[in-house]
Amino acid sequence: MKSKVLIIALSLYTGVSIAQKLKGSDTVLPLAQKEAESYLKVNKANKVTVTGGGSGVGLAALVDGTTDIAMSSRKIKMSEKIKLQDAGKASKEIIVAYDALAVIVNPSNKVAQLTREQLEGIFTGKIKNWKEVGGDDLQIVVYSRESSSGTYEFFKEHVLKNKNYASSVLSMPATGAIVQSISQTKGAIGYVGLAYVEKEIKTVKVSYDKGKTYVAPSMASAKDKSYPVVRPLYYYYLTTMEKSVKPFVDFCLSPEGQKIVEQVGYVPLTK
């Protein structure tokens, strides 16, 4: 899935054209592709190339100058910032959309809601059986994304409050694999982006106020900010390149661009 070079559009128009390269997160990739497609319909003279590879790859390419915009599903790391500074460059951060993360379990599981503290216990390995959180006497099998994924970092920061996952957590290479595994493992729990929620799995209501209110993940609850597990998706570009990337970035932030965000399954920005 990774490192697949996807050149979506290479316009054949000659003359003055602005070429732009986007590289980075595989989470942002489908969104950026759709945005680029629609953008090119309007601005036929421009060129936009979108490639995946991961947030780290994108940000490294930004430092090397081999991409104009780095797509990232996590905030830029301190070490990457320092590298940019060492190269005498400064980057600008733009939030293009939000992604809501849903906690999912096997449909046969009768647990319907969990507090943040319970989730922390489950993912750090302190809670090991479903009966401790009101379910059947069944061992909990925790699925997570790979440690390099932006989703993993976000979940660790916001749900586990920076504690490390348990060593016994199973990590899967792709979101699709998590959905597949959870649908066939009775005691499973995991997290996926809202766009990946299917009927083979069950979402769990989450409470961030110690069990007073539980909110189910949905586009509506993510939009009105009542659902707590929502992360931003970023574009990073060099401040010196602002002029050439601005038209495309502005398009992504425009109402038209934000409509595409919703089509792809992410949560649009709210003013």
Partner 1 sequence: MKTFYKKFSEKFIEGLLLLSSTITTLTVLLIVVFLFKEGLGVFNQKPVEEGFVIALNKQNPVNKLSSAQLKNIFDQNITNWIEVGGKKDSIILFRMEDITNYYSEEQIGEQYENLPQCISKVVDSLPNIIAFFSTKYLDKNFQGKQLDIDKISFKEFFSGKEWFPTAQPSAQLGVLPLILGTLWVSLGAILLALPLGLAAAIYMSEIANENVRKIMKPLIELLAGIPSVVYGFFGLVIIVPLIQKTFDLPVGETGLAGSIVLGIMALPTIITISEDAMRNTPRAMKEASLALGASKWQTIYKVVVPYSISGITAGAILGIGRAIGETMAVLMVTGNAAVIPHTILEPVRTIPATIAAELGEASNGGLHYKALFALGCILFIITLIINLTVEYISNRKKYNNR
Residues contacting 30, CB < 8 A, separation 6+: 264
Please state the closest distance from residue 195 (CB atom) to partner 1, in A.
20
Q: Which residues form the interface with partner 1 (CB under 8 A)?
A: 2-3, 53-57, 59-60, 63, 77-83, 124, 138-139, 141, 146-150, 152-153, 162-165, 167-173, 177, 180-181, 184-188
Report yes or no: 254 and 21 within 8 Å, Cβ to Cβ.
Answer: no
Residues contacting 111, CB < 8 A, separation 6+: 105, 130, 133, 134, 135, 204
For partner 1, which is the closer residue by CB, 108 or 147?
Answer: 147
Please state the closest distance from residue 161 (CB atom) to partner 1, in A.
9
Cα–Cα distances (Å) from 2 to 24, 25, 39, 90, 97, in that order, read: 10, 9, 24, 27, 21
235 strand-pairing partners? 71, 94
Please state the closest distance from residue 43 (CB atom) to partner 1, in A.
30
For partner 1, which is the closer residue by CB, 12 or 78?
Answer: 78
Please state the closest distance from residue 34 (CB atom) to partner 1, in A.
22
71 strand-pairing partners? 24, 235
Please state the closest distance from residue 216 (CB atom) to partner 1, in A.
26
Please state the closest distance from residue 144 (CB atom) to partner 1, in A.
9
Residues contacting 23, CB < 8 A, separation 6+: 50, 51, 52, 53, 57, 58, 61, 62, 66, 67, 69, 70, 71
For partner 1, which is the closer residue by CB, 4 or 44?
Answer: 4
190 strand-pairing partners? 104
For partner 1, which is the closer residue by CB, 14 or 167?
Answer: 167
For partner 1, which is the closer residue by CB, 37 or 117?
Answer: 117
For partner 1, which is the closer residue by CB, 63 or 96?
Answer: 63
Which two tokens mark 264?
Answer: 């792809």
